[in-house]
Amino acid sequence: MSMIYETIVGATGAAFVLTAFVLSSLEKIHRFSYKYMALNGIGSSILLYYAWLINGIIFAVTNSVWLSIELYYLSRKLRGR
């Protein structure tokens, strides 16, 4: 893959995660809202793919944990807990 492609993928994932963080910090969305979870989940999924592209094992582990936590809270919310 080209370095430009990898950079675009990484920047896109980071943009999703940072958008969730900024909106939450500005109290525009709640930490446990579907919008926040979607932004974080999509962003961490893209960053996980990015980690695979660049062979970044530690980055892959970090984003796997991040995505797992987000999916855990999403499943709890969907079950009404």
Position 81 pLDDT exceeds 90: no
pLDDT for position 56 = 95
pTM of the model: 0.88
Sketch the domain layout of the chain as residue ranges. Answer: 3-78
Position 1 pLDDT exceeds 90: no
Q: How many DSSP H helices and E strands does the chain contain? A: 3, 0
Tally of CB atoms within 10 A around 40: 24
